[in-house]
Structure 1
Amino acid sequence: MTRSTAEPVDSEQRILLRIGAVCAIAGPLVLGASFAPHGDLPTREESLVGEAVALRFIADHQTWLLIHLGTIVAGLIWLGAFVALANTLMRGAARAVGRFLIPSAIVGSLFVVFDYGVDGYALKVLADEWATATGPEQEALQRMAETGIWFLNGTFHSEIVVFYGLTMLLAGLAVALDARYPRWFAVAGAIAGALVLTNGLLAFAGVGLAPAGGTDLFLFVMVLPLESLWLMVLGRLMWRNAKRRVAQPPVE
C-alpha cells in the first residue's frame, strides 16, 4: 500500500517543523562537542584510592564545567526537537503518541539538567577543595565524593531510561504512525530507544545485559551515536516537510 506524503501543512506547522529541524540537527552536534573532551572518569576502583583518582581527574580537568554546561544545553535542544515533533504530527494515532512524548521528553531533560548540573558543578567544587586539602579533611571530602558519585549513578540511569530510552521509543513510534516519514526509518529509532530502555530497566533490576565495558560503553559508544544520527536525519526530513505547500483555509 502506498503511503501518502503530500499532505499540506499550515503556516504554524511550517514554523514548528523548521524549529524542530534546527533543534534535531543542532542538538546532537552540541552533545558530541561536549562529550568529546570529557574523557572517561576513573570511578571503577572500589576504594577511597579510586575516588582520589576520580577527584584528581576532575580537579585537573580545565573544561569540566564548560563541557557539562554544553551537555545540559544539548539536552534542552533535544527537548525542543521532541516538543516540535509532537506538535506537528498530523494523524490521529501519531498525535496520541505525541501526547506521551512531550511529558517523557520533559522529565528526561530534567534528569539531564540535574545529573550534569551536579556532576559538572558540585563535583568540580568538591574536587578543587579536595586538591588543596590535607589529612582528615581530604579523607572526608573523598567520602563525600564517593557518596555523590553513587548518587549520580542513580540519576544517570534514570536519565538513560527516560530520555534516551522511553522518549526515543515514543518518538520512533510517533514518526512511524505519521504518513510523511519513511516507516523503516521510524522503526529504527523505536528499536534503538527500546534497546536503551530495556537495558536501563534491567540495570535497575540488577540484571546487566550491556556488553563488556558496561552501560557507559553500550550507551555512549554503541547506541547514542546511532540515536544522534537518527535525530539529525529526522531534522532533515522535518525541514523537507516544512517546504510542502501551505494548507489553504476553507472558502466560506
Structure 2
Amino acid sequence: MLGRGASRIGATCAIVGSVLLFIGTYLHPLGADPSEAVAAFTEYAADRLWIATHLTQLAGVALLVAALLCLAQQLESGSGTEWARIAAGGAIASLAVTTALQAVDGIALKAMVDAWATASAAQKEPAFHAAFAVRQVEIGLASALSLLLGLTVTVYGVALLVDRTYPKWLGGLAIVGGVPTMIAGVLTARGGFSGLAMATNMSAGSLLLVWMFTLGVFMWRRGRVPPGQTAV
C-alpha cells in the first residue's frame, strides 16, 4: 500500500509534470507544416528556445512517469495487481523512448537544421539531406512512442477499471486517450507527420494531459483520506 506521503509525491509529480509538458508543447513552434521539411526546418532553425522547449517536455514526461509508477504501486495492493505491473513496465519503457526522441529531436535535429540554415550554397543540399535523415529517425521514434505510450495508458485504464481505488471513469478516460494515441502512432509510421497523424496525436495528447492532471488531483485527495477508503 502506498503511504499518504508517497501518494502526495505521486500527485505532485502528476500535476507539475502535466504543467511542464503543457508549457513545453505550447512553446514548440507550430507555424510550419511539419510534413514540409524545408518550411519546418526554417522555422526550427529560427527558434532560440528549441532545446529548452524539448528539455522542458522531457522533464514533464519524467515526472508523469514517476506519478504513474506511484499509481502502479497503489494498484498492486488491490485487484489490479497484474495489470498495474504490466503498466509500470510500459511507463518505464515510454520514458526511455521519450529520452531518445528528445535527444534526436531536441538536440541532434536542431544542430542539423542550424548547419543547413547557415551552409553555403554548395553545401546547402547535402546539409539538407543530413537533416532530413535525422528527421526520419525522429519520425520512427515518435511513432514508437505513441504506440508504446498509448498501450501503457490503456493498460492503466484497465487496471483502474478492475480496481476500486479510484473512480471507474478515470479508467475509462485513460482508455479514451490511450487508444487514439496508438492510432496516431500507426498513422505516423505510415505517413510521417501528416496532417491526420498530427491532428490525431494532438487531440489524444490533450486527453492524456487532462487525465494525468485529474489523476494527480485524485491522488492528492487520497493522501488525505484514511487507508481503505476511496478518494472521490
Q: Provide the TM-score with structure 1 as the length reference.
A: 0.82
RMSD: 2.3
1:95-174 alignment to 2 at 5 Å?
95-163=81-149, 165-174=150-159
Aligned residues: 227
Deviates more, 1:174-183 or 1:141-150: 174-183
What is residue 176 of structure 1 aligned with on the other side?
A: 161
CA distance in 1, matches of 2:76, 2:40: 49
Greater RCO, 1 or 2 (C-alpha within 8 Å, sep 6+): 1
CA distance in 2, matches of 1:126, 1:184: 45
CA distance in 2, matches of 1:94, 1:21: 19
1:237 aligns with 2:218: yes
What is residue 173 of structure 2 aligned with on the other side?
A: 188
Match of 2:63 among 56, 61, 77: 77
Which of structures 1 and 2 has the bigger CA Rg? 1
Match of 2:19 among 24, 29, 43: 29
Deviations 1:6-26, CA, capped at 9 Å, x for gaps: xxx6xx522221111111111
Amino acid at match of 1:225: S
What is residue 216 of structure 1 aligned with on the other side?
A: 198
Match of 1:58 among 41, 44, 47: 44
Contact 2:3 2:223 (C-alpha < 8 Å) held by counterparts? yes
CA distance in 1, matches of 2:152, 2:10: 15
Deviates more, 1:81-90 or 1:237-246: 237-246
Secondary structure at the counterpart of residue 87 of structure 1:
helix
Moved beyond 3 Å, runs of 4+: 90-93, 201-204
Contact 1:16 1:88 (C-alpha < 8 Å) held by counterparts? no
1:38 aligns with 2:63: no
Deviations 1:85-109, CA, capped at 9 Å, x for gaps: 0011155431211110111011111
What is residue 225 of structure 1 aligned with on the other side?
A: 206
Amino acid at match of 2:201: L
Q: Provide the TM-score with structure 2 as the length reference.
A: 0.89
Question: Which residues of structure 2 form unaligned runs of 5+?
Answer: none
Question: Which residues of structure 1 form unaligned runs of 5+?
Answer: 1-8, 46-50, 248-252
Secondary structure at the counterpart of residue 111 of structure 1:
helix
Secondary structure at the counterpart of residue 93 of structure 1:
coil
CA apart distance, 1:39 = 1.9
Change (3 A) 1:150 1:203: closer
Larger proportion of helix: 2
